[in-house]
C-alpha cells in the first residue's frame, strides 16, 4: 500500500487489549493493525463500542489505570516499543513525543487549577526552563490557538471558559512541548458547528506548522472526509477496513463501511425518503458472535461468515476484512437504499412508501409564541450595587402549525433549550405569551399542569440521564398511565407493551433496566414515555445529538413514523444542521436570545438571508473528500447574554457589519414568502 512507502511514526502490530472484570477477562480490541506516517492524519471511525477510544488509550498506556492490559502485539513510536515501558518511562514520553486531546475538556482539565498553571506544569516537566519563561510560552500558545486576551485567560479556571475555549486550551496544553503525534479523541463532538469548524481549521494549521502526525477519532464521517489522509474503520474491537479517504468514500469495500456511509444524512439528502439504517446494534464484548463479528447485521452474510473470522488482507490498494470484498462494488450499494449521490427527484419521492407527509393544508396554528422573555437574575457580591440579568430568551415570537416539525438551531448558549423549557412550563417566563390551542399558558387561570402534561411532552438529549436507572423499563414508560389514568398491574403492562411495540422495542423487555440497553434503545424508551398518552406536541431537545450516525437515522425514521401515525407536532432543537434540514418543515435560527431568521426549510438552505445563518450553513462538514468546503471560520465566540452588545447582537462577529448595525437593533421583517430575517442588510 502507498502508506508503507511513507516513513512510519506509529506502527501498531496485532494489538489485543483485555480488561479484568469481576466476571472474567473481556477482550476489548483484537489483533489491530494501524500505521501512521510522519506528517499524516489518520481518522479512526466506527460506532460507539467499536474500540476506537480503547485503541488510543492503549497507545498512551492509560489503560493500565483502568484494569486494562496489552495481551498481545506491539506499539512502536518512531521505532521505540511502548508495550514494555514502565509507567515512569512512558510518562516521560506523554506530552513530549505523544499527546492527547480528550473529548470533554471540562472533565480532562483540573477544575481546581488555573489554565495557566496546567500548561506551565507540562512545560516545566519536559523542558529545562524556568517558571517565568514557561509562563510566557504558555501565553504564546494560547494566543496561537486563537484564544483572545491570553494573559487574562491564563489566570482563569476551566469553568470560566466556554466549551470552544476549553478545547483550545486543551490543544495548547497538548502542543506545549511540540509532540510528534497528537491523538484527538472526538475533539469536536460536544461543540457547535461553527466552533467545530474553527477547531478543525486550527488542527490543520498546526499540523502543517509543526509537521505533526494526527490520529483523529470521530464518528462524524464528514469530519473524516475533510481531515483524513487515510481512514481506519473499526467494528466490535477489530479493524474491518483501511483505505485512503478518496478510496473509502468513492468505493467502500466492507459492508459495514457501506452501511456507515449510507447512514449519513447530508445536506443534499432527499427530504421525505426514509433514511437508511444498519439493522441491529453493535454486540456486547461479553457476547461476541462467532465468525465475522458483523455478520448478524450484514446483508451479504453467508454460512462461511457465521463460522470463520475473515483476516485483514490487501485488496486493490487497501486493506479489508471481508470474505466477499472482491465481489462487492459500488453497484452493490443498491442494497442500502440507493447510491451515495442520489439526485433529488420529486416524482420518485412522492412514490416512495413511507415518504414524509407535508403539514396539514389548513395551516392551523397549534402553538403561538409572542414576545417571550426569560431573564435569570445575577446576584452580585456583598459590596456591589444593583442586580444584573442573563437575557437567555429576549423577545421571541413565532408559531408552530399542527402536524409540522419546526426546527430550532443556533450555537450553545443562544437560548434554544431555555425557550423549550418555557414553552413546556418547566421554566417560568419573565414576559410574553405562550398560546396553546387558543389558551394562554402563562396567564393566571390557564389549564393546570397535570392536564397540560398529557398534550405537551419532551424527549431529552441524554436518554440515560433523563430516566430513572433504578426503575424497570415498564415502570418508566408506564408512569404516565399510572399518573393520568390510574392504571395498575396487568392493564398498565398491556398498554406499556403496546407502546413498546410501537417504538420498536421488544415487549418482553418490560422488566429490564435501562443499563441493559444501547443508546439508541434508551432513546426509544424516552420516546415511548413521551408518546404514551398520545400528546399533541412533543419537544425534542437535541434528541439525536449524542447518537452514532446509524442510530441517529433509526431514531429520526421512528420520529417521522410516529408523527404520521399519531398526528404529532414537533419542536426539534438541534445543532446538527443536516438532521434539522431533513426532518423540519420550517426552521428558526436563534442567536444570543433572539430569533434572527425564520423560513421554510428548503428556502433557508438555498437562500439564507442573515449572515449568521449563512455562517452556520457554510460550516457544515461535507462527507466527500472531493468536495471540501471553502469556509472562512466565524471569528470569536458568542458574547455573554448578561452583557449583550448594543444594536444587532451579531455585529461583533459579522463581516458585513456597519455603523447602523452597531447602533440599532433590527426587527424581524419579511424578505420573501414565509421568510423573515432580523438584519439591516439581508443577503
Which three-class secondary structure string do you get for 339-365?
CCCCCCCHHHHHHCCCCCCCCCCCCCE
The position carrying cell 472526509 is: 225
Residue 480 lies in a domain: no
Tally of domains within the chain: 4
Q: Are residues 161 and 209 in the same domain?
A: no
Average pLDDT over residues 630-640: 72
pLDDT digits (tens, 9 = 90+) for 588-629: 999 999 999 999 999 999 999 999 999 898 888 888 887 766
Residues 107 and 129 in one domain: no
Distance of CA 311 to the CA centre of its chain: 32
Structural contact between residues 620 and 606, judged by C-beta atoms closer than 8 angstroms: no
Is residue 188 over pLDDT 50?
Answer: yes
Q: Is 79 left (phi over 0), alpha (psi -120 to 50) or beta?
A: left
**Owner of C-alpha cell 399518573:** 483
Cβ atoms 371, 433 nearer than 8 A: yes
Q: Interior CA angle at 506 toward 265 and 491, to 5°?
A: 125
What pLDDT is attached to residue 438? 86
pLDDT surpasses 80 at 4: no
Q: Which residues of 585-606 are buried (b: 16+ CB within 10 A; e: fewer)?
A: bbbbbbbbbbbbbbbbbebbbe
Query: Of 384, 435, 402, 676, whose CA–CA distance to 537 is shortest?
Result: 402
Locus of grid cell 506516517: 37
Identify the sign of the CA torsion 237, 243, 244, 248.
negative
Distance CA 13, CA 34 (A): 7
Q: What is the mean pLDDT of residues 41-50?
A: 91
Show the beta-strand stretches assigned E in 437-491. Answer: 439-440, 456-459
Domain boundary among 351, 375, 406: 351
Mean pLDDT lowest among 47-51, 252-256, 402-406, 441-445: 441-445
506 occurs within a structural domain: no
214 and 153 co-located in one domain: no
pTM: 0.84
pLDDT confidence of residue 266: 84
Highest mean predicted confidence (pLDDT) among 91-105, 267-281, 307-321, 345-359: 307-321
> Where does 155-286 show beta strands of DSSP type E?
181-185, 213-217, 230-235, 238-244
Express each pLDDT in 444-503 by its tens digit: 555 566 677 789 999 987 777 778 889 999 999 999 998 888 888 899 999 999 999 899
Dump pLDDT digits (tens) for 389-399.
889 999 999 99
SS3 category, 90: helix
**Distance separating alpha carbons of residues 8 and 37, to the nearest angstrom:** 4
499 inside domain: no
What's the rounded Cα separation, in Å, for the pair 591 and 411?
7
Same domain, 243 and 307: no
Name the domain boundary from 176, 197, 216: 176
Mean pLDDT of 177-194: 84
pLDDT value of residue 635: 74
pLDDT digits (tens, 9 = 90+) for 291-348: 999 999 999 999 999 999 999 999 888 999 999 988 875 444 444 444 344 333 343 3
Q: What is the pLDDT of residue 447?
A: 54
Report the alpha-carbon distance of residue 575 to residue 552 in Å, rounded: 13
Q: What are phi and psi of 269, to 5 degrees?
A: -60, 135
More confident: 273 or 360:
273
At 397-424, the pLDDT tens digits run 999 999 999 999 988 888 898 999 999 9
**What pLDDT is stored for residue 531 in this prediction?**
92
Collect all residues with Cβ–Cβ distance below 8 Å to 465 and sequence separation of at least 6. none
Q: How many CB atoms lie within 10 A of CB 140?
A: 12
Integer angstrom CA distances of residue 430 from 396, 412, 495, 640: 12, 21, 39, 19
Q: Do residues 169 and 27 both lie within one domain? A: no
Query: Locate cell 463500542: which residue?
Result: 49
For the beta carbon of residue 623, count every other beta carbon within 10 angstroms: 24
What CA–CA distances, in Å, run from 378 to 163, 388, 420, 425?
A: 21, 5, 22, 22
Q: Given this model, what pLDDT does residue 548 score?
A: 80
Residues forming a β-bridge with 589: 409, 597
3-state SS, residue 324: coil
Q: Are 487 and 495 within 8 A, CB to CB?
A: yes
332: left (phi over 0), alpha (psi -120 to 50) or beta: alpha
Report, as an integer, the average pLDDT of 538-542.
Answer: 91
Does the pLDDT of residue 155 top 70, yes or no? yes
Beta-carbon contacts of 84 under 8 Å, excluding residues fewer than 6 positions away, are: none
Domain termination residue (choose one: 140, 159, 176):
176
188 and 314 both lie in a single domain: no
Statement to judge: residues 104 and 116 lie in one domain: no
Q: Which runs of E-coded beta strand occur in 437-503?
A: 439-440, 456-459
H or E stretch covering 552? helix 549-566
Name residues whose C-beta falls within 8 Å of residue 130's C-beta, 6 or more positions apart in sequence: none
Res. 384: pLDDT tops 70:
no
Asked, for residue 505, whether it belongs to a domain, the answer is no
Q: What stretch of H or E contains 480?
A: helix 473-485
Query: What is the reported pLDDT for 631?
Result: 60
Question: Whole-number mean pLDDT of the chain?
Answer: 86
List, for residues 346-383, the tens digit of each pLDDT value: 433 443 434 444 444 347 999 999 999 999 887 655 55
Burial of residue 349 (CB within 10 Å: 0-12, 13-18, 19+) is middle
Instruction: Judge if 90 and 172 occupy the same domain.
Output: no
* pLDDT of res. 257: 93
**7 φ/ψ angles, rounded to the nearest 5 degrees:** -65, 125
> What's the CA gap between 388 and 412, in Å, rounded?
21
What per-residue confidence (pLDDT) applies to 3? Answer: 44
Same domain, 29 and 133: no
- Do residues 184 and 59 both lie within one domain? yes
Q: Which domain holds residue 20?
A: 2-111+177-247
**pLDDT digits 0-9 by tens, 643-676:** 899 999 999 999 889 999 999 999 999 999 999 9
Rounded mean pLDDT of 60-65? 92
Instruction: Quote the DSSP letter at residue 94.
Output: B
Vertex 367: Cα angle to 363 and 369 (nearest 5): 120
Rounded Cα gap, residues 643 and 386, in angstroms: 14
Confidence (pLDDT) at 329: 55
Q: Is residue 486 part of a domain?
A: no
Angle at 45 between CA 40 and CA 46, to 5 degrees: 165
Q: Looking at the structure, tell me whether residues 267 and 234 fall in a common domain.
A: no
Q: Which residues of 96-116 are buried (b: 16+ CB within 10 A; e: fewer)?
A: bbbbbbbbbbeebbeeeebbb
Predicted local confidence at residue 118, as pLDDT = 93
Residues whose CB falls within 8 Å of the CB of residue 567, separated by 6 or more in sequence, listed in order = 402, 403, 536
* 211 CB neighbour count, 10 Å cutoff: 10
Residues 433 and 331 in one domain: no
User: Does residue 233 lie in a domain region?
Assistant: yes
Instruction: Please tell me the chain's helix, strand, coil percentages from 3-state DSSP, rounded to the nearest 5.
Output: 35, 25, 40
For position 557, which CATH number holds? 3.40.50.300
Residue 403 lies in a domain: yes
Neighbours of 161 (CB within 10 A): 20
508 found inside a domain: no
Amino acid at each position: 500500500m502507498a502508506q508503507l512507502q511513507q516513513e512510519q511514526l506509529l506502527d501498531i502490530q496485532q494489538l489485543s487489549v483485555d480488561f479484568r472484570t469481576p466476571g472474567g477477562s473481556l477482550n476489548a480490541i483484537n489483533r489491530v493493525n494501524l500505521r501512521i506516517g510522519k506528517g499524516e492524519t489518520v481518522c479512526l471511525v466506527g460506532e460507539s463500542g467499536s474500540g476506537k477510544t480503547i485503541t488510543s488509550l492503549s497507545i498512551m498506556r492509560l489503560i493500565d489505570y483502568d484494569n486494562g492490559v496489552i495481551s498481545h502485539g506491539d506499539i512502536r513510536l518512531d521505532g521505540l516499543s511502548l508495550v514494555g515501558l514502565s509507567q515512569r518511562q512512558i510518562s516521560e514520553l506523554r506530552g513530549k513525543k505523544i499527546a492527547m486531546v480528550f473529548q470533554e475538556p471540562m472533565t480532562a482539565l483540573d477544575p481546581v487549577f488555573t489554565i495557566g498553571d496546567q500548561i506551565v506544569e507540562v512545560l516545566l516537566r519536559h523542558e529545562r526552563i524556568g517558571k517565568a519563561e514557561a509562563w510566557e510560552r504558555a501565553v504564546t500558545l494560547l494566543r496561537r490557538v486563537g484564544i483572545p486576551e491570553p494573559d487574562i485567560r491564563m489566570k482563569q479556571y476551566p469553568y470560566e471558559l466556554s466549551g470552544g475555549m476549553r478545547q483550545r486550551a486543551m490543544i495548547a496544553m497538548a502542543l506545549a512541548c511540540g509532540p510528534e503525534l497528537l491523538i484527538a479523541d472526538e475533539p469536536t463532538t460536544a461543540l457547535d458547528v461553527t466552533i467545530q469548524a474553527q477547531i478543525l481549521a486550527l488542527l490543520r494549521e498546526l499540523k502543517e506548522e509543526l509537521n505533526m502526525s494526527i490520529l483523529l477519532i470521530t464518528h462524524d464521517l464528514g469530519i473524516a472526509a475533510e481531515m483524513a489522509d487515510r481512514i481506519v474503520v473499526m467494528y466490535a474491537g477489530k479493524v474491518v477496513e483501511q483505505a485512503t479517504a478518496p478510496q473509502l468514500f468513492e468505493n467502500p469495500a466492507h459492508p459495514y463501511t457501506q452501511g456507515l456511509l449510507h447512514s449519513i444524512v447530508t445536506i443534499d439528502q432527499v427530504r421525505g425518503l426514509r433514511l437508511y439504517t444498519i439493522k441491529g446494534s453493535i454486540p456486547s464484548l461479553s457476547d461476541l458472535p462467532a465468525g465475522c463479528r458483523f455478520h448478524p447485521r450484514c446483508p451479504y452474510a453467508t454460512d462461511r461468515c457465521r463460522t470463520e473470522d475473515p483476516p485483514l488482507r490487501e485488496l486493490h490498494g487497501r486493506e479489508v476484512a471481508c470474505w466477499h470484498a472482491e465481489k462487492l462494488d459500488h453497484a452493490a450499494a443498491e442494497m442500502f437504499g440507493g447510491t451515495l449521490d442520489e439526485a433529488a427527484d420529486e416524482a420518485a419521492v412522492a412514490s416512495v412508501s413511507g415518504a414524509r407527509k407535508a403539514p396539514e393544508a389548513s395551516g392551523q396554528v397549534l402553538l403561538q409564541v409572542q414576545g417571550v422573555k426569560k431573564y435569570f437574575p445575577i446576584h452580585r457580591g456583598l459590596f456591589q450595587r444593583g442586580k444584573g440579568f442573563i437575557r437567555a430568551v429576549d423577545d421571541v415570537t413565532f408559531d408552530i402549525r399542527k402536524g409540522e416539525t419546526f426546527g430550532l438551531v443556533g450555537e450553545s448558549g443562544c437560548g434554544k433549550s431555555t425557550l423549550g423549557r418555557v414553552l413546556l412550563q418547566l421554566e417560568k417566563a419573565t414576559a410574553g405569551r405562550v398560546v396553546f390551542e387558543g389558551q394562554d399558558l402563562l396567564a393566571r387561570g390557564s389549564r393546570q399542569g397535570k392536564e397540560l402534561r398529557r398534550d405537551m411532552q419532551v424527549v431529552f438529549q441524554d436518554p440515560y440521564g433523563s430516566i430513572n436507572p433504578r426503575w424497570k423499563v415498564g415502570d418508566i414508560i408506564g408512569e404516565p398511565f399510572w399518573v393520568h389514568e390510574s392504571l395498575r398491574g396487568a392493564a398498565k403492562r398491556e398498554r406499556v407493551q403496546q407502546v413498546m411495540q410501537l417504538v420498536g422495542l421488544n415487549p418482553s423487555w418490560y422488566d429490564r433496566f435501562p443499563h441493559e440497553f444501547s443508546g439508541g434503545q434508551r432513546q426509544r424508551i424516552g420516546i415511548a414515555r413521551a408518546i404514551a398518552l398520545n400528546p399533541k406536541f412533543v419537544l425534542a431537545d437535541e434528541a439525536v445529538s449524542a447518537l452514532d450516525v446509524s442510530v441517529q437515522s433509526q431514531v429520526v425514521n421512528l420520529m417521522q413514523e410516529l408523527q404520521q401515525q399519531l398526528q404529532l407536532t414537533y419542536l426539534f432543537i438541534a445543532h446538527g444542521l443536516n438532521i434539522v434540514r431533513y426532518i423540519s418543515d420550517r426552521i428558526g435560527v436563534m442567536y444570543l436570545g433572539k430569533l434572527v431568521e425564520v423560513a421554510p426549510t428548503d428556502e433557508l438552505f438555498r437562500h439564507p438571508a442573515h449572515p449568521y445563518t449563512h455562517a452556520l450553513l457554510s460550516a457544515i462538514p461535507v462527507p466527500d473528500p472531493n468536495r471540501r468546503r471553502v469556509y472562512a471560520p466565524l471569528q470569536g465566540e458568542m458574547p455573554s447574554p448578561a452583557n449583550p452588545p448594543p444594536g444587532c447582537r451579531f455585529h461583533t462577529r459579522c463581516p458585513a457589519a456597519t455603523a447602523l448595525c452597531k447602533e440599532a437593533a433590527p426587527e424581524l421583517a419579511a424578505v420573501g414568502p414565509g421568510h423573515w430575517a432580523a438584519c439591516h442588510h439581508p443577503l
